[in-house]
Amino acid sequence: MQTERFLLEKNAWMPNNPRFPALLYRGAVAGDPVSPRDMEELFARNGWEPRWRDGVYGYHHYHTTAHEALGFVGGHARLMLGGPRGKEIEVAPGDVLVLPAGVGHCSVRTDKHFLAVGAYPPGQDWDLCKTTADQAAMERIRRLPKPGSDPVQGEQGILLDLWR
């Protein structure tokens, strides 16, 4: 499995997260097709709670109350990370994207089969932010605890090393 990391600084109105990089695990789940259940089982086995199956919003947004794992199980997509004019990435079934709180994301282009599974660390519940982060939002991002495990690799995962 190949991993890519993206450390995203503040970009226009998007706070991003200058401490923790976003991580993209290429081919985290093998299979043709990759089932939503396979992705949910991976997340649950590694201590992250699967919460939904859907696409990725087509507008820039971020979360201040949760770190987020997106597991891609159907179709292909081009996503933008970090806000307007940010970093564009392609994702495919079996890939997992982990976004620390504050990191902006949206879909730029998806095919008709695109489907993602969303998961969060225990006790974290996502909010939906679409405007400039005020001081209270920045404080929520700063104080949000790091997860106790990596959603793909568990207690020995690279996320834990990179998010120290």
In a domain, 120, yes or no: yes
Q: Which domain holds residue 125?
A: 2-144
Query: Do 110 and 76 meet the contact criterion of CB atoms below 8 Å apart?
Result: yes
Q: How wide is the angle at C-alpha 120 spanned by C-alphas 114 and 122, nearest 5°?
A: 155
Best CA proximity match to 82, nearest among 144, 22, 33, 16: 16
Domain assignment present for residue 149? The answer is: no
Q: Looking at the domain assignment, is residue 108 inside a domain?
A: yes
Is 66 contained in some domain?
yes
Q: Residue 23 class from Cβ within 10 Å (0-12 exposed, 13-18 middle, 19+ buried)?
A: buried
132 CB neighbour count, 10 Å cutoff: 10
Q: What is the predicted pLDDT for the residue at 32?
A: 82
Query: Residues 29, 15: contact at Cβ < 8 Å?
Result: no
> In the prediction, which pLDDT does 164 show?
87
Asked if residue 160 belongs to a domain, the reply is: no
* Residue among 97, 106, 84 at smallest CA distance from 10: 84
Q: How many domains does the chain have?
A: 1
Per-residue pLDDT of the chain (164 residues; tens, 9 = 90+): 899 999 999 999 999 999 999 999 999 999 888 999 999 999 999 999 999 999 999 999 999 999 999 999 999 999 999 999 999 999 999 999 999 999 999 999 999 999 999 999 999 999 999 999 999 999 999 999 999 999 999 999 999 999 98
Determine how β-strand 49-54 pairs with β-strand 17-26: unpaired
Asked if residue 135 is part of any domain, the answer here is yes
pTM for the model stands at 0.97
CATH number for the domain including 10?
A: 2.60.120.10
